[in-house]
């Protein structure tokens, strides 16, 4: 490092900071010059990482290991939604030469209620974490992380919703819900079924709140316009009979708002089976733009709210790297905009 400092005309400390990517203390031009000189001279600081860790173990500051943990629930692996977010996380980390270790969010066992953490975390190898999980599900692991001596104060970025002691990157779910309901109201719909499966989770609560506000802002009674129906498939023995019962109870329904695309697709199939045409008889709106309903030509016809899933993952990884480098405050929050995508499952109410 002294040789590099001599050639670049800077101090050894500046070389150390530049090679560690400390943008807060070194200008971009100086960093690039030092890194280029190190490469030209054949100096690879990663070869001496073990020695650097030993030295830092005697101080309060920890070296950057260029390793990030990702926590997510096991069922996410099957979802297009998760794959888009995961790709964004990976691309942003790869561009900064960070590696990723994946962990299921629920690490507790029947015989041990305390969340168990992998050794890679407990021995201090991980610089920070990204979480794709709801706070009520992840809380045991979060508490364990904050108690772990070799992780305790390291940064965590939550995707989907705010979490205590964490930064967060979220989509504007409230705004998306608002524009979805506003679209149906402007088409003339006045009796709308809001159909949801997980109303207790934060994004869905935000979406439902957006639905209501769109009614209120147009001088309408949200309780009269929006008919709420909770859908828990595992608790419904006969979905077709259930759906017929909903329409028998509310024969004036002309539209359905769903809090995700998967539910909209399921509902679309049920409507076909009970003889309701979309959009001629019932308009249908999804949320996420992660999945779709294909027509005979393979074209997605589902009207939905687009959530920038790839960008959510990408920005969460970038925020975490800024936190690791000391370039962002611990309470940083970023909200990405959503947008309505009008396709073929919405239309004005049937004249009859």
- Sequential DSSP letters for 20-55: TT-TTTS-HHHHHHHHHHHHHHT--GGGGHHHHHHH
Partners of 72 in the beta sheet?
Answer: 104
CB 151 within 8 Å of CB 122: yes
Q: Taking each helix axis as running N to C, give the angle between helix 28-41 and helix 12-19, from 0 to 180 degrees, rounded to the nearest 10.
A: 90
Q: Domain boundaries in the chain?
A: 2-56, 67-171+310-336, 173-307
CATH topology of domain 67-171+310-336: Rossmann fold (3.40.50)
User: Per-residue b/e over 202-214, b at no fewer than 16 CB within 10 Å?
Assistant: bbbbbbbebbbbb
Secondary structure (3-state) at 62: coil
Question: Other CB atoms closer than 10 Å to residue 188's CB: what's the count?
Answer: 12
**Across 198-298, where does the E strand assignment appear?**
226-230, 255-258, 283-285
What phi, psi does 268 have (nearest 5°)? Answer: -60, -45
Query: Residue 126: which of 182, 75, 62 has the closest Cα?
Result: 62
Task: At 93, list the tokens.
Answer: 């980390």
pLDDT in tens, the chain (352 residues): 899 999 999 999 999 888 877 777 889 899 899 989 998 988 877 666 555 555 555 555 667 889 999 999 877 878 888 999 999 999 999 999 899 998 765 555 444 455 678 889 988 899 999 999 988 889 999 999 999 998 999 999 999 899 999 999 999 999 999 999 999 999 999 999 997 665 568 898 899 999 999 999 999 999 999 998 877 766 777 888 888 999 999 999 999 999 889 889 999 999 999 999 999 999 999 999 998 999 989 999 999 999 999 999 999 999 999 999 888 888 899 999 999 999 999 999 975 3
Query: What is the dotted CATH code of the domain comprising 2-56?
Result: 1.10.260
- The alpha carbon of 151 is separated from its chain's Cα centroid by a whole number of angstroms, namely 22
Q: What is the DSSP letter of 197?
A: S
For 173-307, the fitting CATH number among 3.40.50.2300, 3.50.50.60, 3.30.565.10, 3.90.1200.10 is: 3.40.50.2300
Do the domains spanning 67-171+310-336 and 173-307 agree at the CATH topology level?
Answer: yes
Tell me how far apart the terminal alpha carbons of the chain are, to the nearest angstrom. Answer: 81
Task: At 278, list the tokens.
Answer: 């979309």
């Amino acid at each position: 490092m002294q040789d590099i400092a001599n050639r670049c005309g800077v101090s050894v400390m500046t070389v150390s900071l530049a090679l560690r990517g400390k943008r807060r203390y070194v200008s971009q031009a100086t960093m690039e010059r030092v890194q280029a000189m190190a490469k030209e001279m054949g100096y690879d600081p990663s070869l001496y990482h073990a020695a650097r860790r030993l030295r830092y173990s005697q101080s309060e500051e920890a070296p950057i290991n260029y390793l990030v943990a990702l926590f997510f629930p096991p069922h996410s692996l099957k979802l297009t939604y998760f794959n888009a977010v995961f790709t964004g996380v990976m691309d942003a980390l790869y561009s900064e030469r960070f590696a990723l270790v994946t962990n299921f969010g629920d690490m507790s066992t029947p015989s041990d209620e305390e969340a168990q953490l992998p050794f890679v975390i407990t021995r201090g190898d991980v610089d920070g974490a990204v979480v794709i999980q709801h706070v009520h599900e992840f809380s045991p692991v979060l508490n364990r992380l904050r108690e772990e001596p070799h992780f305790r104060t390291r940064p965590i970025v939550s995707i989907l919703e705010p979490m205590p002691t964490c930064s967060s990157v979220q989509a504007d779910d409230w705004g998306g819900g608002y524009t979805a309901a506003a679209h149906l109201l402007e088409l003339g719909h006045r009796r709308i079924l809001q159909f949801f499966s997980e109303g207790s989770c934060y994004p869905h609560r935000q979406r439902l709140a957006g639905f209501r506000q769109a009614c209120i802002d147009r001088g309408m009674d949200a309780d009269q316009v929006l008919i709420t129906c909770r859908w828990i498939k595992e608790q419904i023995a006969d979905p077709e009979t259930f759906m017929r019962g909903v329409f028998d109870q509310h024969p004036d329904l002309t539209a359905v708002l769903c809090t995700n695309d998967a539910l909209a697709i399921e509902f679309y199939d049920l409507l076909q089976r009970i003889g309701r045409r979309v959009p001629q008889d019932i308009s249908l709106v999804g949320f996420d733009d992660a999945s779709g309903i294909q027509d005979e030509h393979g074209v997605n016809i589902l009207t939905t709210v687009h959530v920038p899933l790839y960008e959510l993952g990408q920005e969460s990884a970038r925020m975490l790297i800024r936190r690791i480098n000391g370039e962002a405050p611990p309470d940083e929050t970023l909200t990405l905009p959503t947008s309505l995508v009008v396709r073929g499952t919405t239309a004005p109410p049937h004249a009859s």
